[in-house]
């Protein structure tokens, strides 16, 4: 395995800014805050979260998509956010253009949604629905006014579940899911060729809970969880499709004694994959990360550092050079960030704290580098709602001490 090398830089003592938000509270900063590659420190400033679902029914499993590709000849388009969630066995959708939110729309009957946006600003959603006694993966397209009728993506005889969706720079949609058609769980992949969906199992990929990302070279990167043997703990596996063949699965977590589950993947501008998962260490779940490419991976590193259990990691990579990893700790939603050419992680940043409960945090970065977050929050004893927040950034100048040894 290889590790990223750190840039040599002058050590600076940074001033620590405590940014207090009237709704959420303070964004914490430690006395040993790291500097960015430019010698500046970035702090996340939290704005008032928006209740997107506002429903008396439970709203869970939110997913968001933001403008990810510039429209040719028109410059970046980074002012649209689309959010889907499941509620009462239906998929619901809202979007925001600028500062204006749409009304809530029903997409279709289903659960476990995922969503992306294409270069034209149109949204695509996939989800699970039971029809005729069989669970299948379906796709719908938003044309700016309404959603298309659902189209069957999986079309298998087995149970299809846990879909993940990505879009390549060339506009090709890629979907992965878990499917038990052979009589055991395998990972399937499908892509849209412009006329219909082409699907099939990924070679040597068995297990569940897959996630997918497409890199700038249009390669497809998939991670999932599987056991090395019956009764053994789960491990996180990775395979890449170059458009012709899948690479042999690689064990990324490589922790035979510890349970490793619920992975997420994103790719950077150098076509490297960044993977996170939750791993059980000393009886508690923590968030781990590795990055690299086929055959060359960094040593897995723990990102969360709390005594509390950390769940459901989400990862997002900016078009520049920043990796964001978020997760929840039952009553907290948190994230950390790292610059790709720097192995060190920033301090923890608080997105939301609520003693009633916080879960399902998801992060995304738009074409302009803006970080966005969505999560579920318990608003009553028997009711969850979906909340959204745009996380802006502020540059803090360092304080340089003239008598410093460095």
115 touches 52 (CB < 8 A): no
Q: Which residues pair with 151 in a beta bridge?
A: 139
Domain membership of residue 332 (yes or no) is: yes
Q: What is the pLDDT of residue 405?
A: 30
- pLDDT tens profile 5-64: 333 332 222 222 222 232 333 233 333 333 333 333 334 444 689 999 999 999 999 999
Domain membership of residue 9 (yes or no) is: no
Q: What is the pLDDT of residue 47?
A: 65
Q: What is the pLDDT of residue 264?
A: 98
Residue 168, SS3 per DSSP: coil
pLDDT over 70, % of the chain: 82
Q: Which residues pair with 374 in a beta bridge?
A: 362, 388
Give 245-306 as a 3 state SS string. Answer: CECCCEECCCCCCCCEEEEEEEECCCCCEEEEEEEEECCEEEEEEEEEECCEECCCEECCCC
Q: Which whole number is the average pLDDT over 63-90?
A: 75
Residues 6+ away with beta carbon under 8 Å from 229: none
Q: What is the pLDDT of residue 362?
A: 98
Residue bearing the bigger pLDDT, 382 or 190: 190
Q: What is the pLDDT of residue 42?
A: 39
Cα(97)–Cα(388) distance, rounded to whole angstroms? 14
Q: Using CB atoms within 10 Å of the CB of residue 185, give its burial: 0 to 12 exposed, 13 to 18 middle, 19+ buried.
A: buried
- pLDDT tens profile 233-258: 999 999 999 999 999 999 999 998 89
303 touches 251 (CB < 8 A): no
Domain membership of residue 151 (yes or no) is: yes
Q: What is the pLDDT of residue 7?
A: 32
Q: Report the run of H or E that residue 361 belongs to, with start and end.
A: strand 358-365
239 touches 247 (CB < 8 A): yes
- Count Cα neighbours of 119 within 13 Å in the Cβ-side half-sphere: 13
Q: Which whole number is the average pLDDT over 68-77?
A: 45
Q: Using CB atoms within 10 Å of the CB of residue 274, give its burial: 0 to 12 exposed, 13 to 18 middle, 19+ buried.
A: buried
Residues 6+ away with beta carbon under 8 Å from 95: 80, 81, 82, 83, 101, 102, 123, 142
- pLDDT tens profile 124-175: 999 999 988 899 999 999 999 999 999 999 999 999 999 999 999 999 999 9
Q: What is the pLDDT of residue 13?
A: 25
Q: What is the pLDDT of residue 369?
A: 87
**What is the residue range of 57's domain?**
48-394
- Whichever domain contains 356, its CATH number is 2.120.10.10
Domain membership of residue 25 (yes or no) is: no
Q: What is the pLDDT of residue 23?
A: 30
Q: Of the ranges 183-192, 221-230, 386-395, which one carries the lowest mean pLDDT score?
A: 386-395
Q: What is the pLDDT of residue 67?
A: 80
Domain membership of residue 20 (yes or no) is: no
Q: Which two tokens stand for residue 356?
A: 């009633």
Domain membership of residue 364 (yes or no) is: yes
291 touches 273 (CB < 8 A): yes
Domain membership of residue 21 (yes or no) is: no
Is the four-CA dihedral 372, 319, 95, 111 of positive or negative sign? Answer: negative
**Total domain count for the chain?**
1
Domain membership of residue 11 (yes or no) is: no
Binned at pLDDT 50, 70 and 90, residue 392 comes out as low
358 touches 368 (CB < 8 A): no
Q: How far is CA 14 from CA 32, 40, 44, 129, 232, in A?
A: 8, 8, 16, 52, 46
Q: What is the pLDDT of residue 131?
A: 87
pLDDT at 368 over 90: no
Cα(39)–Cα(400) distance, rounded to whole angstroms? 11
325 touches 313 (CB < 8 A): yes
pLDDT at 355 over 50: yes
Q: What is the mean pLDDT of the chain?
A: 84
- pLDDT tens profile 293-352: 999 999 999 999 888 999 999 999 987 679 999 999 999 999 999 988 887 899 999 999
pLDDT over 90, % of the chain: 72
Q: What dihedral do alpha carbons 54, 56, 60, 65 form, nearest 10°?
A: -20
């Amino acid at each position: 395995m290889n590790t990223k090398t750190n840039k040599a830089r002058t050590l600076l003592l940074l001033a620590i800014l405590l940014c207090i938000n009237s709704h959420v509270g303070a964004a914490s900063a430690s006395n040993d805050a790291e500097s960015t590659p430019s010698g500046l420190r970035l702090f996340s400033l939290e704005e008032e979260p928006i209740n997107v679902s506002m429903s008396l029914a439970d709203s869970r499993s939110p997913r968001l998509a933001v403008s990810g590709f510039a429209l040719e000849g028109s410059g970046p388009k980074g002012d649209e956010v689309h959010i889907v969630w499941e509620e009462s066995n239906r998929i619901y959708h809202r979007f925001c253009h600028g500062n204006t939110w749409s009304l809530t729309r029903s997409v279709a009957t289903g659960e476990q949604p995922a969503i992306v946006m294409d270069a034209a600003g149109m949204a695509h959603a996939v989800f699970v629905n039971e029809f005729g006694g069989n669970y299948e993966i379906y796709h719908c397209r938003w044309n700016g006014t309404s959603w298309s009728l659902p189209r069957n993506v999986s079309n298998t005889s087995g149970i299809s579940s846990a879909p993940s969706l990505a879009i390549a720079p060339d506009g090709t949609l890629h979907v992965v899911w878990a499917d038990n058609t052979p009589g055991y769980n395998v990972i399937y992949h499908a892509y849209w060729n412009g006329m219909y969906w082409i699907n099939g199992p990924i070679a040597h990929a068995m297990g569940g809970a897959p996630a997918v990302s497409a890199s700038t070279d249009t390669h497809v990167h998939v991670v999932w969880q599987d056991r090395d043997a019956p009764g053994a703990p789960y491990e996180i596996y990775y395979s890449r499709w170059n458009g012709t063949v899948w690479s042999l699965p690689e064990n990324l977590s490589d922790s035979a004694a510890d349970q490793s589950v619920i992975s997420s993947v994103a790719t950077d501008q150098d076509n490297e994959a960044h993977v996170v998962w939750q791993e059980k260490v000393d009886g508690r779940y923590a968030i781990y990360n590795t990055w690299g490419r086929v055959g060359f991976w960094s040593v897995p590193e723990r990102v969360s550092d709390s005594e509390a259990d950390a769940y459901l990691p989400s990862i997002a990579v900016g078009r520049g050079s920043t990796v964001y990893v978020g997760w929840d700790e039952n009553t907290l939603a948190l994230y950390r960030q790292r610059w790709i050419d720097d192995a060190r992680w920033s301090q923890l940043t608080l997105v939301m704290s609520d003693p009633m409960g916080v879960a399902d945090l998801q992060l995304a970065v738009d074409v302009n580098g803006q970080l966005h977050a969505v999560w579920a929050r318990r608003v009553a004893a028997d009711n969850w709602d979906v909340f959204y927040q745009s996380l802006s950034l502020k540059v803090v100048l360092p304080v340089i001490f003239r008598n410093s040894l460095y």
